[in-house]
Structures are given as C-alpha cells and as structure tokens.
Amino acid sequence: MKNHRKYYPLHHFIFYPIMLILLVLSLFEFWDNAVDERGVSLIWLMVSAVIISIIILSFMLRQHYALGLQDRLIINEFKFRYFAFTGNRLESLPYQFSDSQIFALRFSEDEDLIELINKTIENDWSSSKIKQNIKNWKADNRRI
C-alpha cells in the first residue's frame, strides 16, 4: 500500500456523501425559491444551516474522540514509564495525580522524572508549575 490512509466506510462513503448531497439539494432549493415571496426560501436556508451544522459537528466529534483516546494513552504510557523506573505501580502511591499533572510530567526527560514526581507530591504542584520546573524538556510532536 502506497499510503496509510484509513477510511471508515460508514462515515466516509455513506454519511458524508449523503450530507453533501442534502446540502447541495437544500442550497439549490433555496436558490430556486429565492424569487418566491412565500417564505419558502427561508425554510430551505434553515435546512441548509442545519445540514452544515451537522457536518461541522461530526468533524468536531471525530477530533474530540481522538483527543479523549490520546489522553488515555498518555496516562497509560506515563504509568508504564513510572513502573519501568521504580518497579512500583503509580496507583500504589498515596498521592493521586490529576490528569493535567500527568500530562505535564510526561514532558520531562527520564533522568528528571522521578525527582519531578517527588517534588510534585511534596508540594502539590499544578501542571504549569511542573512545566516550569522541567530541566530537560522532551517535546511531544505527535499530539493530535
């Protein structure tokens, strides 16, 4: 395979084509009835607006689901990273890290991670405070 595009048939080949066809038809009806003075064109304009809203919402939901999944992966990756360094589970600590703290801690290089974790536990640092104290920054260039 020359590219790695992934298609979800129901989404890409049924939902979006139907929505685009409905949009084109509603815009055509709006344009065709624009000369009418019975208010019919306003109805078609509203139908077009609803269809456009549905299309935009479906794109936004795709992004939302991807980010939610990515957050879960980052948390699990961080838990594994902690386990690899300490041999202990992150959940065994009496301190419970918030998601935002974990998201901030993941930017630290391996040699600084345990020290940052301990300082976060001792001082209950916010995510912004954690980021300010990272000595060796490890960028995440693959975030969605």
Average pLDDT over residues 18-32: 88
Q: What is the pLDDT of residue 129?
A: 95
pTM over cut 0.75: no
Average pLDDT over residues 106-123: 94
Encoded amino acid at 123, one letter:
N
Percent of the chain at pLDDT exceeding 90: 57
pLDDT digits (tens, 9 = 90+) for 64-88: 888 889 999 999 999 999 999 999 9
Render the burial of 12-49: b for 16+ CB within 10 Å, e for the rest.
eeeeeeeeeebbeebbebbeebeeeeeeebeebbebbe
Q: For residue 31, give the 3-state DSSP assignment.
A: helix
| Residue 110 structure tokens | 């391996």
